[in-house]
């Protein structure tokens, strides 16, 4: 994980790199992990649709994955992590208790 300019761990300070203006942009985010290129992957516990979103080091937010599992679309992504080699992203869907593996150029 890289520190954003302005953060000072010695003084116990952080730098804000993104603040959601509304739930239409980021809806109940929780469960984060960092990818191989220092992008932050954010699991959403949304009230309607549920996404994994990606926040780049420059503060740009984009959609990465949407829960479209038939019959379980309204259930949240509940955790994500990368394999040690950074080639696979594992994400969990709370109900029905699924773990998915996503391969790509992260």
Q: What is the pLDDT of residue 9?
A: 74
20 pLDDT more than 80: yes
DSSP string, 76-95: PEEEEEE-TTSSEEEEEETT
Per-residue pLDDT tens over the stretch 35-72: 989 999 999 987 888 999 999 988 899 999 999 999 99
pTM: 0.84
Supply φ then ψ for residue 42, to 5 degrees.
-120, 120
Q: Which two tokens stand for residue 23?
A: 């739930």
Q: What is the pLDDT of residue 4?
A: 62
């Amino acid at each position: 994980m890289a520190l954003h300019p302005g953060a000072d761990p010695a003084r116990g300070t952080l730098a804000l790199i993104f603040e959601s203006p509304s739930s239409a942009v980021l809806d109940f985010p929780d469960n984060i992990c960092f990818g191989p290129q220092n992008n932050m992957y954010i699991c959403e516990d949304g009230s309607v649709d549920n996404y994994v979103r990606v926040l780049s080091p420059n503060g740009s937010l984009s959609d990465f994955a949407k829960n479209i599992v038939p019959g379980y679309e309204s259930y949240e992504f509940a955790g994500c992590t990368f394999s040690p080699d950074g080639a696979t992203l594992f994400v969990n869907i709370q109900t029905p208790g699924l773990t998915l593996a996503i391969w790509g150029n992260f």
